[in-house]
Amino acid sequence: MNCVITRREPVPVEIGSVTLFCESFRAEGSAVIYEQASVSGETVATNRYKRSSVLTFTGRVCGSAAEVIAELDSLTGSGTFLSLSYRELDFTGCTLRSYSATEEGDIVSLTVTLITQDSFTVQGGEGE
Task: Determine the pLDDT at residue 128.
Answer: 45
**Would the pLDDT of 15 be above 50?**
yes
Q: What percent of the chain has pLDDT over 70?
A: 92
Task: Determine the pLDDT at residue 122.
Answer: 92
pLDDT tens digits along 56-100 = 999 999 888 899 999 999 999 888 899 999 999 999 999 999 999
Distances 44 to 38, 50, 51 between C-alpha atoms, Å: 6, 18, 20
Q: Which long-range contacts (CB under 8 A, 24 or more apart) does 81-89 make?
A: 82/15, 82/16, 82/114, 84/13, 84/14, 84/15, 84/114, 85/13, 85/14, 85/123, 86/11, 86/13, 86/22, 86/25, 86/57, 87/11, 88/122, 88/123, 88/124, 89/120, 89/121, 89/122, 89/123, 89/127
Domain boundaries, the chain: 11-122
| pLDDT mean across residues, the chain | 89
**Would the pLDDT of 10 be above 70?**
yes
What's the CATH architecture for 11-122? Answer: Beta Barrel (2.40)
